[in-house]
Chain A
Amino acid sequence: MKPGAGLLHRVAGVVPGLWLAGFFLLPLAFVWVLSFGEKQGLVAVDIVWTADNYLRALDPLYLGIVAKSLWIAALTTVICLAVGLPVALGIVFAPARWRPLLLLLVILPFWTNLLIRTYALIAVLRTRGHVNATLGWAAELFGLPFEPLSLLYTNGAVVAGLVYVHLPFMVLPLYATLHRLDRSLVEAAADLGAGHLRVCVTIILPLAVPGIVSGSLLVFVPALGSYLTPDLLGGPDSQMIANVIERQFKSANDWPFGAALSFLLMYVTFGALALRSLSVRRPAVP
């Protein structure tokens, strides 16, 4: 760096650094310290450097919630992948003039508020909602008896809500990977007599692996930490980690335990991201 240019450059580096340190890292550090504290009375917390809060997370009650959160997030990821692959494939191989429109259609819901999309699902899924109205109408048409299904406030509703919200996160990385795919490989396979499905499974799927990995993480990580969807669409037994954390801070008022849980959630997130950087680095050969 030239000596005269110092001031400007230092400002560019230091100001955001200070902001990040003061209004992001410091708050995280507070939570981290708090997670080793012990609750004393209503608001007071003693920092006694105990691991009790972390050990409490191993309680079967909380372990069950963690397992359920992991399961729901994994199921969401698998469904997003199963839907996202054909969608991405359809967009990549669409005529060039359709492609921007189709991509826009995938991205646009993603720009609508998460809360509003979840609310929209409530209106669709509730007992007197659109799904039940449609089913009831269809049943009436065929003269069948119909009992409205209770779709809302179930684990299924939570998974549906998470898929609804996270599908674009899966489609976009898959699209990015498949878009760069060498089409002559597909043509070669077809020339050598591979059928359409065989091309999908033996040529396209292996080449899509980087996109599958990125997409799965982009879905899994936020789905695991999601608060709003289980809160609004889930029933009493579909609480996820984030809902437990929220309860510790708002109603149960056990901040140290909430802090420990939120750091555990962060460690899982970092673990998933570390897995990704490993898997990205390995296939270095094109």
Chain B
Amino acid sequence: MRIPPGPLEFTRRTWIRLVLLATFVFLYAPIATLVAYSFNDSRRNIVWRGFTTRYYERAIANDGLVEAFGNSLLIALAATVVSTLLGAMTAYALWRFRFRLKPLCEGVVMLPIVIPEICMGVAMLVFFARIGWPGDLPWPISLSRITIAHISFCFPFVAVVVRARLSRFNGELAEAARDLGAGEWAVVRDVIVPHMRPGLVAGALLAFTLSLDDFVITFFTSGPDTVTFPVKIYSMVRFSVTPEVNAASTVLIVVTITVTVVAMWLQNRTRSGAPP
């Protein structure tokens, strides 16, 4: 006989199960069809006509798309390195010191996370136009506008992640190091940074995916010669829905999900492996 669900077994209630199921279908069906139809051998895109990788070949042969992908990776790498450094410093400074304007500083650091993306994009557009940031720089340097904008919104996220990690730091370890004669720099290098490391890794991967994925802020800082992958996909989407866009999107989904899964795995590993 089927035992009726107990008071705490909400997950066994049929209506809750239905809502869960419907939600996951709603969340995954569009992405799944997008990926599936990137392999569909039909331009009309709705009837399944057999498996093909033709659209991937076509996407790779599309120079603009490949260039945009290269730009995106380069920007994401540069933004990740700088925002991890800045984020770690911010987290350390806010964790270590007490000063009068600290609540204000904490609020300002959170600002890039909370203000609407469109406002940040507009601010960057106005900023670079007003200070006369040169627009015709040679290739890797021409990406500097986008990279700077990305760093500004990525490093607060790194700071939040690293700070959460620091809040679990056992202060006695630093005191023990000091008692044993370590200078302040040695304490940071040998005690605090190793403790921060899982946070740094997680923060860096977060910054990487945020930068790789950003559309709105990049849209306002990119020029005709500095197109990123999402901006390129956007212009293709505006033009028409094609399997080629599906293929390009699938590549970006795979890259982002891989980075995220690696990040989660690393975090889990360090959490279970670390001493309490």
Nearest-CB residue, chain B, relative to A109: B27
Nearest-CB residue, chain B, relative to A168: B27
CB within 8 Å: A-B pair count:
230
Nearest-CB residue, chain B, relative to A108: B257
B209 touches A90 (CB 8 A): no
- What is the bound-complex CA distance between A224 and B119, given in angstroms? 12
- What is the bound-complex CA distance between A128 and B10, given in angstroms? 39
Q: What residues of B have a CB within 8 angstroms of the CB of A87 in the complex?
A: 19-20, 23
A94 touches B112 (CB 8 A): no
Q: What residues of A have a CB within 8 angstroms of the CB of B51 in the complex?
A: none
Stretch at the interface among B30-38, B55-63, B134-142: B30-38
Nearest-CB residue, chain B, relative to A263: B119
Is the contact region of chain A dominated by helix, strand, or loop, or is it mixed?
helix
B27 touches A113 (CB 8 A): no
Q: Out of B28, B114, B151, B230, which one reaches A113, CB within 8 Å?
A: B230
Q: Out of B7, B114, B125, B209, which one reaches A199, CB within 8 Å?
A: B7
Is A245 interfacial (CB-CB < 8 Å)? yes
Is the contact region of chain B dominated by helix, strand, or loop, or is it mixed?
helix
B92 touches A12 (CB 8 A): yes
Task: Using A12-B89, A119-B249 as known contacts, say yes or no to A30 and B117 having CB atoms under 8 A apart.
Answer: no
A183 touches B126 (CB 8 A): no
Q: Out of A8, A92, A112, which one reaches B256, CB within 8 Å?
A: A112
- What is the bound-complex CA distance between A83 and B22, given in angstroms? 10
- What is the bound-complex CA distance between A14 and B230, given in angstroms? 33
Q: Scan A135-151; emit 1 where CB is below 8 A from any B CB, else 0.
A: 00000000000000000
Interface set of B (CB-CB < 8 Å, partner A)? 7-11, 13, 15-17, 19-20, 23-24, 26-31, 33-34, 37, 44-46, 86-87, 89-90, 92-93, 96-97, 105, 108-109, 111-112, 114-120, 122-127, 130, 148-149, 151-152, 155, 159, 183-185, 188, 209, 213, 215-216, 220, 230, 233-234, 237-238, 241, 245-246, 249, 252-253, 256-257, 260, 264
12 further interface pairs, Cβ-Cβ under 8 Å (given A5-B184, A15-B89, A111-B209): A5-B183, A83-B19, A89-B16, A91-B11, A108-B260, A115-B213, A120-B249, A122-B237, A186-B7, A225-B118, A258-B122, A265-B119
